[in-house]
Amino acid sequence: MTQRLRLLVEYDGRPFSGWQRQEGQPTVQASLERAAEALDGQPVTVHGAGRTDAGVHATGQVAHLILQKPRPIRKIADALNHHLRPDPVCVLEAEEVDEDFHARFSATGRAYRYIIMSRRAHLTFERGLLWRVPVPLDVHAMQAAADHLIGEHDFSTFRDAACQAKSPVKTLDTLNVTGFGNRIEVTATARSFLHRQVRSFVGSLVEVGRGMQEPGWMKDILDARDRTVCGPVAPADGLYLEKVEYAGGAAQA
């Protein structure tokens, strides 16, 4: 008898070459698989809900795995966290799920948060955890630009050249820009996203916030369906996979 588990995972993406296992590179998936193998005594494959890029963080990544040696559910998160040390990865929750659950393919929605610090001074404590933009940003103009992206569109302009999605057409449910003093947060929700789509959004929104472009420019580049007209892609530092939705509710901390 095996045990299928859903894990709620957080991690600091700075030391990793992304989520997905890569030969000779540190990745979140490989770190979790080493911990699971130490626990189960044999190789274990861990599947994630989202394949985050190098340097991207998560506070609500979801993964699933199958253990060949079932264990008391209350002990699994602690046991995995013991084997994960010293990697900056933590299993927040573990629960048993039905055999048809898949972390990626069962997901009905995903939420990302991008954090910007608008200030001239360099970062000290939060370096690598958000994007410092050294000029003031107009949050209202950024939101006006973001509104043009809501709904179903061909997002070719915001699609990375390496994207493996079958179609550039996606439905963006929300894209909100909120200011907290000099801290600005961009939150995006959709069933799924194209490769580097959120970072492409943010880079273009910052061009508007800096006054380099008008809010209507966002609709123009969206309609162009041309990657070359996209603004600069925002760095990985400020991006967090915050929540994954499933039928019956979200998995989040």
- The residues annotated with a catalytic role in the active site are 53
In order of 1, 51, 97, the CA distances from 196 in angstroms are 40, 11, 30
Lookup: tokens for 41: 């005594």
Question: DSSP letter at 71?
Answer: -
Judged by phi (left if over 0) then psi (alpha if -120 to 50, else beta), residue 34 lies in alpha
In order of 5, 46, 49, 160, 247, the CA distances from 102 in angstroms are 10, 10, 8, 26, 12
Residues 6+ apart with CB under 8 A from 70: 1, 2, 3
Lookup: tokens for 11: 């991690």
d(CA 191, CA 11): 22
